[in-house]
Structure 1
Amino acid sequence: MSDHYKSQQNKHNDSSKKVPPKEDRFVNPYNFVPLETVCYREWISEEGDSQTEKLTGYIECFIQLKTPIFIPNTSYDRAFTEDREDKPKSYDFFSYENLSGSQPISRKEKHSEPVIPGSEIRGVLRSVHEAAFNGCMSSVQENRQLSRRSVEQKKPGILRWNQEKNEWEIQPCERLMLNVTCEQEGHGQLMPRKDYYSLAEGLKIYVKSSKRRYKNRSYMNYVVEEYSLVEKKGDRWKIGYLHKGEPFGKKKHHESIFVESTEESCLPVSLEELQRLKKVLSKYNSEENRHLKEKFRPHRGYATYEKNFSRKIAEKKDVLVYYSISEQDTQIVAQYLSPSMLSQEVFLNDIEHLLKSNGGYQPCVDRNCVCKTCQLFGMVSKEKGNSLGSRLRIEDACVLDSLRQDDTALYYYPEIELPEMGEPKPGSAEFYVSRPLETEHINKSDHWTYDYVQLPDKKIEKDKLRTPLTASEIKIRGRKFYWHHEGWKSVIRKVYQYDSTSKSQSANAPEAEKGNKKMIQIIRPLRQKLRDSQQPLTFKFNVYFEQITQQELTNLLWTLDFEDPKCAHKIGRAKPLGLGSIQIQVDQVYQRRINKSNGEWELTPISREHCKLEVLSSSRQTMKRIATWKPLDFAQQVSYPQIDEANNGSKVNDAASHKWFTANRKAQGKFDKTLPTVEEELNTESKWLYKKRK
């Protein structure tokens, strides 16, 4: 390691000692239970093990709510709002009643008897069982593509077919800034936007470059001082190509002209990179990117570029692209092609390869060779006749006592608008993947993805390159679970205020937040305690088991209640906001068998003392830590990553989570903070996460 790099690392380490105030700390809503070394699968014979006694019976269970919970009745998605495009979807709590066609106004004054579906309970139990007893990751979407927006500026180039070498390559270019905003000194010759939009992508254009960079700043490009659509000759005139970028609001004052570099050699490009660019374009053209609208025209997700790209590749014509450089088998190559300088990157290492390389935790597919969890809960295979039936049946959980129909507010909070929570973003490697281990060919890095590591100091020539990672060199953190906390109180308090004197509730109706309205939902959560008596709302259900071993029963009982009254499960929606905490209590366990003397079925109680786990594995210990319900020191600090609100100014969306991740990638993209482990959250202050200040 060079002295320069060491000095940069020391500077980084010194600055990290400046710990922010504790009140700036936040705890990410989720963390991970690590995987074990390998997912152990057993060969199962059709006859089974005749030497081991098998048990059949059921477990009586109760559920007590620790926080409000919400499970939607999906029979109607307009339970509290008008059936109009401009109104968000709204759901009532799950019940056996079909709400289709009910009137929103009248529904607010009614309620059905709530039910917690057995399928929901089953999903919760399966997730815990997989984590606690080293099962496969059955619910993971193996074919999900991992991607992330890169903060590193890509280089401009022309993707060109080399007839002699019979391969694609990149011709490096210089990017010039084309003024499309206003006639102002230093901006270059103006091309009116109506003219700009009328021109084709990749059009040859003759340009004269300015002598100084834009605003004379070293990190900016030169501007197009003059341009012409007809041929121009002269020392300063060059041939350029128009590259049409996406709309970017009022901040975007220039577009791009690519001029071939005479100083850089062409770089090879694999066919795999062309396929990856197609995936990037497909992501940009997906539905979630189409809601952005600009002053002049809506963002179309590079639809035209995508169509032209496929045609030009088929015809072996030039395509304008941006790219990054990597070192591959001692050769410098172009990778991660994109239509923009700052772009999404689709990674080669997908979830399927990562699970296989991290101990074989991909979902089970062969009924004759399955993990402990699939043996008990069953598995579904795409191959006909290869699925495995479950040996468990879980009832719906029903309220212990009948509910009064004349007082909806006794059992339910009024309907609330859920904040936008989005979906999981495993592309955030600093939260989902541990730092790659330092090896002979991988130096310690402060920035990594699912495909490569990159040293932070670009002043060293070799650090400009990305060092590729194999799937086996990437350590995924494990299985995601949510902390228990009481952040739900602030969500309800913001919208509704409870008048304890008049026993009435009044709505301070929130204004719909700006953003994608398709992400906003209105729900009516179930109270954790009856409003008047403050008695906990209790549900009852049974778990039926058939032909399972004593050890499987022991594992199942631990999965239900953790053998610890301080632990609880999470169920339903809005778990990151604190909703969904439930505690399952095992009441009685019965074995059902035939009395050989009279041939009748009989029930025999099974003592819980005979079903205790003597030794806790590290996975179960971590599972219990994150499932602990007792008040935690940081319970009030659980939230998604955020920018310090005191320094937000008045800009819309400045406090959004993605702003924190942007700020967390410091100079040259290195990570300032990574997600602490469960143990580090509880014990190691130096690893804590803090709000970022702008």
Structure 2
Amino acid sequence: MGKNNFAENVATAPYNFVPLNSTVISSDNDSSVITGIHDRYDYLERLTGYIECKLETLTPIYIRGGLTKEEVKAKKEAKDNSNFFSPAGQIRIPGSSLRGMIRTLVEIASWGKFGFFEDRNLYFRGFADNCKNLREEYDSQMRSYDMESERTIYKMLAGYIVKEGFKYFIYPAEKTGKKEKQFYNMKIEEASEEIKKIGKKRENYNYYKLKDGRSIVVSGPMSNKKDPELSKKHDWVINKIDRNIQNKIEIPEIDIQNYNRDESRGNKVPDLMKLCYDDKEVPCFYVEWLDGENNKRVSFGNTALFRVSYQKSIRDHIPINGIKNKEKIDFANAIFGNTFEGEKDSNVNPIAGRVFFEDAKLVNPNNNCLMDEEPPGILLGPKPTSFQLYLEQDSNIVDELKNYNSGARIRGNKFYWHKSGDKWEYKYHDQGNSNEKVKPKKIQPVKSYTEFKFQIRYENLSENELGALLFALKLPEGCAHKIGMGKPYGLGSVKITPRLYISDRSGRYLTLFNGNGWGLAEYKQKDRVLNETVSAFEGYILQNMSPSDKGKASSLWETHRLKQLKKLLEVQKGKNLEKDKKTEYMNLKKFRYRDVLPIPEDI
């Protein structure tokens, strides 16, 4: 394949990534506070108080509300609800959303571990892909080509999935003929006649049990100019089941979970797991393999050229979450807490959080802050299988791209560019689709330039931990946060202005009342104190990061990683890219070329 031209044929997307750090930096707080002693205040060395925040919406924002009791009884789902988050009828931004947004920024700025992610094996089918590496990767597991006979030699096996109790097994199909084949091809015309004999009509994406125990499996329509063998009009025939229990293969639970979470499998492709509830023997094709820990694994599908699992999971592409960093407690976990459920081989005890986010309330609750109801642009789910976008690439030559069986690192934390917020509504004609059924449900966002206020209470933080929190809140001039839904279309841009209050713990217990209120001894700090606290945190991180991460930077925002973050947070930068159409989703034709997504500062 030819080389992509970065100047002309680059990938475009409404998002980009902040690259991973090379090392993880531990929190400076001692283990007695981090591991959960919250029954006393340490007023000599720790800081307690609150941060008062003003939040202004720069674009419309939308956060879906919960269901009412009546809606729950009607068996509605959350996606059916278009109301903005409004507990007790009061419009708010939930504290959980604010907390998640700020935690991610703390994690990045403090050189922490890569946060919450779903560890799983992704699936691919690459027999006709534009990328040579992916085609070869697929062939190595599924097939080869015999030059002498000029025929494809399939490596996959065939059998039947059987559900026994709570477990699933594959019973191989019987082997017949001189070559002891479990399956073979049958011309569509012949297959149609065989299917007629059992009183049924041949349909795509279906299978049929014949009276002699064999099964005919029909895939979807296929035409492939690069591989004439695949374009032949035939169906697959699987021999009858071999009931010898010594040959059956148990499908590991992890492979069942991965199969169920394969979001890229077509809607028309049958779900073999669900079919097992109605059919005691579901025909399938499969391959066996060993993972990095030498465990036996199985990939399976409904036709011979099915989607196969990558042998490396997402976790394998996050080196900073590896063995040497498992016992480290970074700033994000120390401040916000973590149960560490699902952490493989982790001996770290659960950590209680020491920050508490309130819901953001309207400054002027009597004003009408809601826009008219409109359907938003069609939102596409994340496509991590697009390795040219989600993995770091050393080359933009399509044949040299690294996939999930390589040692490439994931790109990092995903952020959406800021946009004007003027084009978030669904444009019927602009979508290039005349089907009214795809029109999304209407939503009612909060208007631009609406003001909210909220507080963040903190307890027993070190100066550097408080600095990390303030660093994530007080962004550089011209930058803004993103929150809520509809980010790809420009919703969710907000500006936060923090004010720091620190509690005098000894003074609190000297005076019970202060005027008509309790004597809390919480005092507003000057901007100088806030800036000094942030500077102390920056100095700690710069001192402890690796030379490769630091480079010649004298502040965190000058490091390579945070330069990319700053670009993504710059409001005007995002608007300029929107105007130049550099942050749009690619159409399918362009997407198939697998152009690489440049880093933020190169766009």
Q: Which residue of 2 aligns with 1:159?
A: 157
Measure the CA separation in 2 of the matches of 1:483 and 1:351: 24
SS in 2 for 1:604: strand
SS in 2 for 1:401: coil
Q: Summarize the Cα distance change of 1:243–1:606 in structure 2 as closer, same or farther, 3 Å threshold.
A: same
Q: Summarize the Cα distance change of 1:552–1:279 in structure 2 as closer, same or farther, 3 Å threshold.
A: closer
Q: Which residue of 2 aligns with 1:484?
A: 418
Q: 1:346-400: CA deviations, max 9, x gaps?
A: 2221233333xx122699987xx41111111111244999321111112211111
Q: Which residue of 2 aligns with 1:558?
A: 471
Counterpart among 518, 523, 527 of residue 604 in structure 1: 523
Q: 1:188-234: CA deviations, max 9, x gaps?
A: 896376447759969899xxxxxxxxxxxxxxxxxxxxxxx9xxxxx
What is the correspondence of 1:55-134 to structure 2 with a 5 Å cutoff?
Answer: 55-76=47-68, 89-97=80-88, 112-134=89-111
Counterpart among 631, 635, 638 of residue 578 in structure 2: 635
Contact 1:280 1:338 in 2 (8 A): no
Q: 1:127-185: CA deviations, max 9, x gaps?
A: 1111111222332123x342234344854467379xxxxx98997799645234xxxxx
Q: Which residue of 2 aligns with 1:391?
A: 354
Contact 1:641 1:660 in 2 (8 A): no
Measure the CA separation in 1 of the matches of 2:324 and 2:55: 29
Q: Which residue of 2 aligns with 1:148?
A: 124
Q: Which residue of 2 aligns with 1:301?
A: 271
Q: 1:633-654: CA deviations, max 9, x gaps?
A: 31232555333xxxxxxxxxxx
Measure the CA separation in 1 of the matches of 2:502 and 2:30: 26
CA drift at 1:571 = 0.5
Counterpart among 568, 574, 585 of residue 480 in structure 2: 568
CA drift at 1:254 = 3.9
Contact 1:201 1:243 in 2 (8 A): yes
Q: Summarize the Cα distance change of 1:309–1:437 in structure 2 as closer, same or farther, 3 Å threshold.
A: farther
Pair 1:33 & 2:14 matched: no
Which amino acid counterpart does residue 191 of structure 1 have in structure 2? Answer: E
Measure the CA separation in 2 of the matches of 1:47 and 1:125: 21
Contact 1:70 1:526 in 2 (8 A): yes
Counterpart among 351, 354, 359 of residue 320 in structure 2: 359
Which amino acid counterpart does residue 96 of structure 1 have in structure 2? Answer: P
CA drift at 1:585 = 0.9
Q: 1:9-36: CA deviations, max 9, x gaps?
A: xxx24xx45965xxx9773111111111
Contact 1:26 1:639 in 2 (8 A): no
What is the correspondence of 1:407-418 to structure 2 with a 5 Å cutoff?
Answer: 408=368, 411-418=369-376
Q: 1:219-278: CA deviations, max 9, x gaps?
A: xxxxxxxxxx9xxxxxxxxxxx76412455999994425699xxxxxxxx9979998986
Q: Which residue of 1 aligns with 2:444?
A: 524
Q: Which residue of 1 aligns with 2:382?
A: 424
Which amino acid counterpart does residue 433 of structure 1 have in structure 2? Answer: L
SS in 2 for 1:545: strand
Which amino acid counterpart does residue 51 of structure 2 have in structure 1? Answer: I
Percent of residue pairs identical:
21
Q: Which residue of 2 aligns with 1:378?
A: 337
Measure the CA separation in 1 of the matches of 2:220 and 2:188: 14
Q: Summarize the Cα distance change of 1:174–1:157 in structure 2 as closer, same or farther, 3 Å threshold.
A: farther
SS in 2 for 1:582: strand
Q: Summarize the Cα distance change of 1:336–1:291 in structure 2 as closer, same or farther, 3 Å threshold.
A: closer
CA drift at 1:481 = 1.0
CA drift at 1:574 = 1.0
Instruction: Provide the alpha-carbon RMSD of the alignment.
Output: 5.1
Counterpart among 490, 493, 506 of residue 581 in structure 1: 493
Contact 2:47 2:461 in 1 (8 A): yes
Measure the CA separation in 2 of the matches of 1:277 and 1:195: 36
SS in 2 for 1:491: coil
Counterpart among 433, 448, 458 of residue 402 in structure 2: 448
Measure the CA separation in 2 of the matches of 1:380 and 1:84: 31
What is the correspondence of 1:465-544 to structure 2 with a 5 Å cutoff?
Answer: 469=406, 473-486=407-420, 488-492=421-425, 494=427, 513-514=436-437, 520-528=440-448, 536-544=449-457
SS in 2 for 1:555: helix
Contact 2:577 2:583 in 1 (8 A): no
TM-score by length of 2: 0.67
Structure number with the bigger relative contact order (C-alpha 8 A, sep ≥ 6) is: 2
Measure the CA separation in 2 of the matches of 1:270 and 1:446: 39
SS in 2 for 1:416: coil
Measure the CA separation in 2 of the matches of 1:308 and 1:553: 57
Q: Which moved more, 1:581-590 or 1:337-346?
A: 337-346
Measure the CA separation in 1 of the matches of 2:284 and 2:14: 42
Contact 2:158 2:286 in 1 (8 A): no
CA drift at 1:492 = 2.8
Q: Which residue of 1 aligns with 2:235?
A: 256
CA drift at 1:340 = 2.5
Which amino acid counterpart does residue 452 of structure 2 have in structure 1? Answer: F
CA drift at 1:589 = 3.7
CA drift at 1:514 = 3.7
Measure the CA separation in 2 of the matches of 1:121 and 1:364: 27
Q: Summarize the Cα distance change of 1:47–1:76 in structure 2 as closer, same or farther, 3 Å threshold.
A: closer
Count of aligned pairs between the two proteins: 497
CA drift at 1:595 = 2.5
Measure the CA separation in 2 of the matches of 1:86 and 1:249: 36
Higher normalized strand content (fraction of residues)? 1
TM-score by length of 1: 0.59
Measure the CA separation in 2 of the matches of 1:542 and 1:343: 52
Measure the CA separation in 1 of the matches of 2:61 and 2:70: 19
Point out the structure with max Rg over C-alpha: 1
Structure 1: runs of 5 or more not aligned:
1-7, 98-111, 162-166, 181-187, 206-228, 230-240, 261-268, 293-298, 313-318, 452-468, 497-509, 529-535, 644-656, 665-671, 682-694
Contact 2:376 2:426 in 1 (8 A): no
Q: Which residue of 2 aligns with 1:46?
A: 32
Which amino acid counterpart does residue 474 of structure 2 have in structure 1? Answer: D
Q: Summarize the Cα distance change of 1:306–1:552 in structure 2 as closer, same or farther, 3 Å threshold.
A: same
Measure the CA separation in 2 of the matches of 1:418 and 1:136: 34
Which amino acid counterpart does residue 321 of structure 1 have in structure 2? Answer: F
Which amino acid counterpart does residue 301 of structure 1 have in structure 2? Answer: D
CA drift at 1:557 = 1.1
Which amino acid counterpart does residue 338 of structure 2 have in structure 1? Answer: M
Q: Summarize the Cα distance change of 1:256–1:17 in structure 2 as closer, same or farther, 3 Å threshold.
A: same
